[in-house]
């Protein structure tokens, strides 16, 4: 990886309307999953970790969308 590619990983990437629509669609599906998990599992460490990992996955999906899958 060259320095330009490395810096591109941390630079701001503006989202256009199409990207925002994709992110919103995935956010809707993610909310549904989170609600299902909340209903099916009692509060426990595993539930908290699952929710945290889903939040993390959503962050990576959004980054993937704005970076164009680079």
* Interatomic CA distance for residues 12 and 28, integer angstroms: 24
- Full-model pTM: 0.84
Q: Name the one residue in this structure whose structure tokens are 């993390």.
A: 56
Give the pLDDT of residue 68: 85
Cβ(67)–Cβ(15) below 8 Å: no
For 21-70, the pLDDT digits (tens) are: 999 999 999 999 999 999 999 999 999 999 999 999 999 999 999 998 65
């Amino acid at each position: 990886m060259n320095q330009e590619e490395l810096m591109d990983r941390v630079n701001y990437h503006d989202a256009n309307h199409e990207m925002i629509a994709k992110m919103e669609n995935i956010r809707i599906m993610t909310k549904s999953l989170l609600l299902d998990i909340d209903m099916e599992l009692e509060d426990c460490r595993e539930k908290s970790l699952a929710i945290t990992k889903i939040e993390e996955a959503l962050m990576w999906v959004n980054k993937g969308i704005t970076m164009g899958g680079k």
